[in-house]
Amino acid sequence: MYEKKRRREALGQMWNNTFERAGLRHRKAYQFRYTFACWALLAGANPNYVAAQMGHSEAQMVYQVYGSWLKGTNEAQRSLLNVKLNEFVPSMPHTKAV
């Protein structure tokens, strides 16, 4: 048990030193999980894939935890969908042909 505690402390010290040497503000490791999840979802990754990468058994966890952080991206998502849908759906005139 003592050895496990020493390893954890050594890892924590290495983590802190790395940030200090890089001139970065300290971050906790779990914050990188949040970053990965949000960036992956914003990039259009399948939530089931994101959940699996993070060790969650269901995508519901991804929706519950990270979905609320992405509410401000609705306009960007709308634009992305318009671009992608225009690639697959032919342009149609907005007026009725006579």
Residue 32 parent element (H or E): helix 29-42
1 part of a folded domain: no
67 part of a folded domain: yes
Q: Is the pLDDT of residue 92 over 90?
A: no
38-63: per-residue pLDDT in tens?
Answer: 888 888 888 999 999 999 988 998 88
Number of domains in the chain: 1
Q: Is the pTM of this model over 0.75?
A: no
The mean per-residue pLDDT over the stretch 74-84 comes to 76
2 part of a folded domain: no
22-39: per-residue pLDDT in tens?
Answer: 998 888 888 888 889 988
Q: How far apart are CA 62 and CA 59, in angstroms?
A: 5
Q: How far apart are CA 89 and CA 79, in angstroms?
A: 15
Whose tokens are 């949000």? That residue is: 38
Give the range of the structural domain holding residue 68, as residue numbers without chain letter.
Answer: 22-82
47 part of a folded domain: yes
16 part of a folded domain: no
76 part of a folded domain: yes
The answer to whether residues 56 and 48 touch, using CB atoms and an 8 Å cutoff, is no
Cα–Cα separations (whole angstroms), residue 84 to 3, 44, 46: 54, 11, 16
51 part of a folded domain: yes
3-12: per-residue pLDDT in tens?
Answer: 888 888 888 8
